[in-house]
Structure 1
Amino acid sequence: MKLLRSSLVFSFFTLLSRLAGFARDALQASLFGAGPAVSAFVVAYRIPNYLRRIFAEGSFASAFVPVLSELRQKGDQKALQDFLDHIAGALLAAVVVVTGLGMLLSPLLARLFLILAGDHGAQTELVADMLRITFPYLTFISMTALAGSVLNSFRHFGLPAFAPVLHNLSVIFAMLVLARYFAVPEKALAFGVVIAGAAQMLLLWPAMRRLGVMPRFRFNRQHEGVKRVFKLMLPTIFSSSVAQINLLVGTIFAAALAVQAQSWLYYSDRLVEFPLGLFGVAIGTVILPHLSARFADTDHAGFAAAMNWGLRAVLLIAIPAAVGLASVAEPLTATLFGYGKFKAEDVQMTAISVQMMCLGIPAFMASKVLLPAFYARQDTRTPMRIAVHTVIANVVLTILIVTPLWKLGVPRAHAGIACATAMAGTLNAWWLYRNLRQQGLYIAGTDLHRFALKAMLAAVAMAIALHVLRPLVGDLMALHWSNRLLACLCLVAAGALVFTLCGLAFGIRARDLREPVSKADPATRVEQ
């Protein structure tokens, strides 16, 4: 299978989505800043967004794709269609119930996530109102994820990767058109999220019809395929969404700090999500069907070769991304968000949490490759146990780091939340790898270690170059937006050039990303 080509297709459309996302965030920062209403939206969006990881591309996809791949390998079209019909009906029933409960219990959820905020009744009421608006997004995006998983299993990666562009465009539309009709303009953000979910669903479902696998909603709790998926899915609720759970933990603790803290963490998370979504998710998405097919064919060498390829690809992106983003965090934040109501203090506070989160980028991206190694073998319990340990570690680290800063009144205490998230993510990746190694499923060889060392040396050279060049651009907040953009692009280009040249000098070559060779996979003949 052309893993590299599929990853590039996914990454290209994801790049379009991320660029649209930055346009959305820049507009949001300029129009609304980082005030209490934006923080309320962050809370109201993160709760259904976390549930999306369970019922959509996270837990559900991790359990659904291996079962679907197994049916495809058997070549029984009738059984495959029957499975799709019943899994669609079961998923729709589940998300409708959860959506209804979420809307009904929104005041309780708002109080729970603002439990450390003290007496902020108006803020709690605003979060509850926005939750009632955003929860239906869960139903739409879950149906979207079902369609996306089916298309990915048939090696059609482009359209599912493009769909999030509609999400960003829908929220932009809401800010520019709908916001003027609300007493609290930020409520338009919540309506934009719901519109975005519906738009993505309407884009992807017709594509399944063109493949001849359009599901018909049927509900039977005793259907064997549905039982298998939900049995596999339950343990993945934690393991597929460790980062999101940690963000929710951070959201609760941030409520005890400055009222803008949730907004600062949101914008920093958006910057860190760029390399994760552009490359980490892309590689993890395209490698899961491949690993599932290798396991179904009992091709152990092909399974290990695919893992090695995925980790090399991740390291080549994650290491320079982490170092480079940390080096230009403040210029990048000022260039993207530092306009209108987003003040210089907001830029500085966002930048420091970006730098802390960068510590975890290599681990976050490595987990996107390590987790599919378990899911492809339909082992969801092991990642669940590791995820529980990770969440506990995150809570403990957050308490240990943030509490002293909070009590001492340190103005940058929110950066401790980002640091704890990064450290917990690193532990998660290490535990996943150690378990694979103990089971004899994958052991990183000296070639991977040498490759990582070369990438780290090139990244150090890049960091030194950026440290020297950074003072030359001066205070970006004092510049026109076009000059900010030019200065920031020059820094990014210089860093990329130094990393590339040093990487070549240290021996990194294109052949290091040579794709794994394994047994023939009939599914690979259906590629985009």
Structure 2
Amino acid sequence: MNGEVPEQGSPSLTTSGAQGGHEQCAVARNAAVMGAATLVSRVLGFVRDAVLAFALGAGPLADAFLVAFRLPNLLRRLFGEGSLSMAFVSVFCATRSRQGDERAFALMRSMFFWVALVTGVLCTAGVLGAPVLTALMAPGFVRDAELFRTATVMVRICFPYAFFICLVALCMGVLNGMGRFAAPALAPCVLNVVLIAAALLAYAGGYDVAMTLAWAVPVAGAAQLAFMLPWLGRSGVRMTGPWRAADRLAVKVGRLLGPSVMGAAVYQLTIVLGTLLASFLPAGSIACLYYADRLVQFPLGVFGVAVGTAALPSLARLHGPGMEQAFGGTLSASLRLSLFVSLPAAAGLLALAQPLVTLLFGRGAFDAAAVRDTVAALAAYAPGIPAIALVRPLVAAFYAADNTRTPVVIAVAALGVYAGTALLLMPFAGHVALAAAGSVSAWFNAVLLYTSLLRSGVLLRDILRPAAVYLLLSAVMLAAVHSGALYFSSSFAAVAVLVPAAVVFYAAAALLLRSGEALLLLRSFRS
């Protein structure tokens, strides 16, 4: 192991205003690239779900596989993509901007050592403690000795996936910090392709589909890592060279990672709490909330996360003395871009809730009552979409400023708001109360993050006026699309005609009004 790379002098910077304008264009362009790539991944994810349902069904072996797959995915959500990327990217980009590539690459190599060590220990513990973990995740399996044994074996097989996917998350962070967003967004496609192939081959060959899928999970993790490494090389990243286990910047990433993991844990607690409360409601409530949430997560995954992820490297580069105007301008542009996309997405889901749910889920055992209840949940979830989209760039601003405590404190408070709102409304609205509580909690989170940044002196500007324009356009679009949906007897026809019509109307109206975000995205797509 070689010594730490000596720190280099900070590179010269352009003026704050010019730098801010450049970064705003970069955020829009990178968000567009990441959104397009994520769209491919999400569509492939729907295909994967359909294939798994076809080949695996919904029996006890399917339950065993899903429990086994959920455990390493929990580690991914807590330590991997969101938490690790947020903590690492801010330090990596700031180091690269101020001290040069060699120092940033030394940090990356140190982080690879620590991520491999920590996740290796956790995976070993998971494999050895598989019976305990299985009993905790699925206590009902204990009553069936054979099912419990099968699930435990699958947990042992699947758990190494966490090792690979956390290293993949670090690769994603490096590439995002280098301005590469397409490859990280496409990486989940590898998982989907491997699982689809495994399910179909096992089904066609007469093999045990569930066990084949379990073995495919760590293979998919290794394949994702193999997919990412060449992209690092093409971006000029050198995996070999000086590094130190005790790198002070790696220690800094670790300090940032702790609160980030806590924030992710709060989010997971919200999901657990929602499921727990829904279990006291009539049968089918959990399923209706799940399917409604799947529709909500589609625009958020494609657009909402993309803006926040694209904004973080730019904000990290701009945080520092003399860059306050550029930092505030880039964050303001990211917030406007989030609202420009998320407000019409929420309006579209509200307007087309009935035909969308009917088209995607309304068949077989999913009867008219299930469609009605899912539509009601979707209508309560949709108003929270803009708030959730705003949270990502707002949190990115705190991380760029090395402030991870405030987002966690606000997230805990938002969890309390969620619980209080849900308990207050459940006697009157049932499962719809849980969806509405999610929207209320999301807006509480976004507003507190926004006001906290204002109090800290961040220069946010020109957000309310564009937001009002986009809200008005979205309301007009909602009314027009909802009215148009009444004339279609086929759900497929309603969705096929009205979705592109709504997109064209909103985009054309925004361009006619000379919307800065519409023009920025247009230039990004052209480039």
Moved more, 179-188 or 303-312: 179-188
Are the counterparts in 2 of residues 459 and 499 from structure 1 also a CA contact under 8 Å? yes
CA 344–32 in structure 1, closer or farther in 2 if over 3 Å, else same: farther
Shift of 1:289: 0.8
Are the counterparts in 2 of residues 89 and 216 from structure 1 also a CA contact under 8 Å? no
1:197 aligns with 2:221: yes
**Counterpart residue number, 1:462:** 477
For 1:203, the aligned partner's letter is: F
Q: 1:489 aligns with which of 487, 496, 499?
A: 496
Distance in 2 separating the partners of 1:212 and 1:422: 42
For 1:473, the aligned partner's letter is: F
CA 348–34 in structure 1, closer or farther in 2 if over 3 Å, else same: farther
Shift of 1:285: 1.3
CA 207–514 in structure 1, closer or farther in 2 if over 3 Å, else same: closer
Shift of 1:247: 2.2
1:149 aligns with 2:173: yes
Are the counterparts in 2 of residues 295 and 377 from structure 1 also a CA contact under 8 Å? yes
For 1:439, the aligned partner's letter is: S
Shift of 1:158: 1.4
Question: Gaps (5+ residues) in structure 1?
Answer: 477-483, 516-527
**Counterpart residue number, 1:479:** none
Q: 1:14 aligns with which of 23, 38, 41?
A: 38
CA 229–97 in structure 1, closer or farther in 2 if over 3 Å, else same: same
Q: 2:261 aligns with which of 223, 228, 237?
A: 237
Distance in 1 separating the partners of 2:242 and 2:276: 39
1:432 aligns with 2:438: no
Distance in 2 separating the partners of 1:384 and 1:337: 36
1:509 aligns with 2:515: yes
Shift of 1:78: 4.1
**Counterpart residue number, 2:307:** 283
Question: Gaps (5+ residues) in structure 2?
Answer: 1-22, 522-526
Q: 2:391 aligns with which of 360, 367, 392?
A: 367
Distance in 1 separating the partners of 2:83 and 2:336: 25
Are the counterparts in 2 of residues 327 and 466 from structure 1 also a CA contact under 8 Å? yes
Are the counterparts in 2 of residues 239 and 384 from structure 1 also a CA contact under 8 Å? yes
Are the counterparts in 2 of residues 205 and 214 from structure 1 also a CA contact under 8 Å? no
Are the counterparts in 2 of residues 275 and 318 from structure 1 also a CA contact under 8 Å? yes
CA 174–334 in structure 1, closer or farther in 2 if over 3 Å, else same: farther
SS at match of 1:58: helix
For 1:317, the aligned partner's letter is: V
**Counterpart residue number, 1:299:** 323
**Counterpart residue number, 2:105:** 81
SS at match of 1:473: coil
Distance in 1 separating the partners of 2:145 and 2:277: 19
Q: Normalised by the size of structure 2, how large is the TM-score?
A: 0.82
Aligned counterparts, 1:513-528, within 5 A: 514=520
CA 170–474 in structure 1, closer or farther in 2 if over 3 Å, else same: same
**Counterpart residue number, 1:423:** 440
1:355 aligns with 2:388: no
Distance in 1 separating the partners of 2:407 and 2:129: 30
**Counterpart residue number, 1:499:** 506
Distance in 1 separating the partners of 2:184 and 2:79: 16
Are the counterparts in 2 of residues 309 and 514 from structure 1 also a CA contact under 8 Å? no
Distance in 1 separating the partners of 2:121 and 2:187: 25
Q: Normalised by the size of structure 1, how large is the TM-score?
A: 0.82
For 2:437, the aligned partner's letter is: A
1:452 aligns with 2:459: no
**Counterpart residue number, 1:393:** 417
Shift of 1:91: 0.6
Distance in 2 separating the partners of 1:334 and 1:217: 56
**Counterpart residue number, 2:184:** 160
SS at match of 2:237: coil
Aligned counterparts, 1:226-265, within 5 A: 226-240=250-264, 242-256=266-280, 262-265=286-289
Cα displacement string for residues 385-412 of structure 1 (whole angstroms, at most 9, x for unaligned residues): 112222333334444444x47xxxx9xx
Cα displacement string for residues 164-186 of structure 1 (whole angstroms, at most 9, x for unaligned residues): 22222223223322356789856
Cα displacement string for residues 110-132 of structure 1 (whole angstroms, at most 9, x for unaligned residues): 555568x8998689947666544
Distance in 2 separating the partners of 1:349 and 1:102: 38
Moved more, 120-129 or 346-355: 120-129
Aligned counterparts, 1:33-432, within 5 A: 44-110=68-134, 112=136, 125=148, 131-179=155-203, 185=209, 190-215=214-239, 222-240=246-264, 242-256=266-280, 262-296=286-320, 298-338=322-362, 346-402=370-426, 404=427, 413-432=430-449
**Counterpart residue number, 2:7:** none
Distance in 1 separating the partners of 2:49 and 2:496: 18
Q: CA RMSD of the aligned region, Å?
A: 3.5
Shift of 1:496: 2.6
Moved more, 379-388 or 242-251: 242-251
Are the counterparts in 2 of residues 7 and 286 from structure 1 also a CA contact under 8 Å? yes
